[in-house]
Amino acid sequence: MRSEDVPRVRLAVIGNADVGKSALTVRYLTGRFIGEYRSNTDLLYNKTITLNGGLTEVEIVDVYAGNADDFPIEQVLWADACMVVYNITERRSLNYATKCLGEIKALQNGPSAYLIGNKADLDHLREIPEKEGAALAAAHSIGFCEVSVAEYTPILSKAFEKLIIDSRAQPQKQIRKFSVSKMLGTLMGSSGYGSSRNLAINQGTVIPCHKGELHKTRPLKRRQGFMATSSL
């Protein structure tokens, strides 16, 4: 199959600071947990996956939240689907997820969504009952699960698969405002799982980007010597 024939899905992972968006994205893409990230910008990942027996190119923007509670409208408009993440030990993060889901719902022809409550291993610190997350998701007719990205969590892949499938069921966006396909330039290693030196995404790429760069159609300049371990 030619690469231009492979269907592409664009995902945005959004949520408050520190809910585990980067950890969750990397866990999904590599199967590995990286405990500490130091990033002050959005990160854009690309990987071709096999889904339902066919190939799908997945682009994921891991949205840097900072300390602001702003809704990341540019990234959401770019995306076909949003993974909305909160931390079960922090009510503020559920409030922010609620706000985001409301904003997504208000968009005409907006992206589909899925709600994830992360850090389920910290049950003793829980502020959000699981049924509250489930009720919020049900109110928006979207999927929901709790995960602990810090632990082996096969349900995470199922959640992404559902989100990708749901996004395909949405009508195609009439106007694609941005294209980032040419931005994907920094190879993060080839063999992936098992390398102890690099965080390598198998057959994938990751680049740091600013939300404004999602609008650009010209290729990003390659960032030379970019190492995931030093940048994620």
Return residues touching ligand GTP (CB under 6 A): 15, 17-23, 35-37, 39, 64-65, 118-119, 121-122, 148-150
Nearer to ligand GTP, 56 or 104 (CB): 104
Find the shortest distance in angstroms from Cβ 117 to ligand GTP.
10
Find the shortest distance in angstroms from Cβ 25 to ligand GTP.
8
- Measure CA 53 to chain center: 22
Nearer to ligand GTP, 56 or 82 (CB): 82
Nearer to ligand GTP, 56 or 118 (CB): 118
42-51 and 204-209: which strand pairing?
antiparallel
8-14 and 54-62: which strand pairing?
parallel
Find the shortest distance in angstroms from Cβ 125 to ligand GTP.
9
- Sheet of 42-51: strands edge to edge? 143-146, 112-118, 81-87, 8-14, 54-62, 42-51, 204-209
Taking each helix axis as running N to C, give the angle between helix 155-169 and helix 21-30, from 0 to 180 degrees, rounded to the nearest 10.
Answer: 90
Contact (CB, 8 A) for 142 and 112: yes
DSSP labels, 20-41 = SHHHHHHHHHHS--------SS
Nearer to ligand GTP, 67 or 174 (CB): 67
Residue nearest ligand GTP (C-beta atom): 20
Nearer to ligand GTP, 43 or 142 (CB): 43
The candidate with the shortest Cα–Cα distance to 119, out of 42, 35, 200, 60, is 35
Nearer to ligand GTP, 35 or 194 (CB): 35
Interatomic CA distance for residues 91 and 59, integer angstroms: 29
Contact (CB, 8 A) for 45 and 112: no
The candidate with the shortest Cα–Cα distance to 10, out of 128, 183, 229, 231, is 183
Find the shortest distance in angstroms from Cβ 167 to ligand GTP.
21
Nearer to ligand GTP, 47 or 56 (CB): 47
Find the shortest distance in angstroms from Cβ 37 to ligand GTP.
4
Find the shortest distance in angstroms from Cβ 146 to ligand GTP.
10
Find the shortest distance in angstroms from Cβ 201 to ligand GTP.
15
Taking each helix axis as running N to C, give the angle between helix 91-106 and helix 130-139, from 0 to 180 degrees, rounded to the nearest 10.
Answer: 10
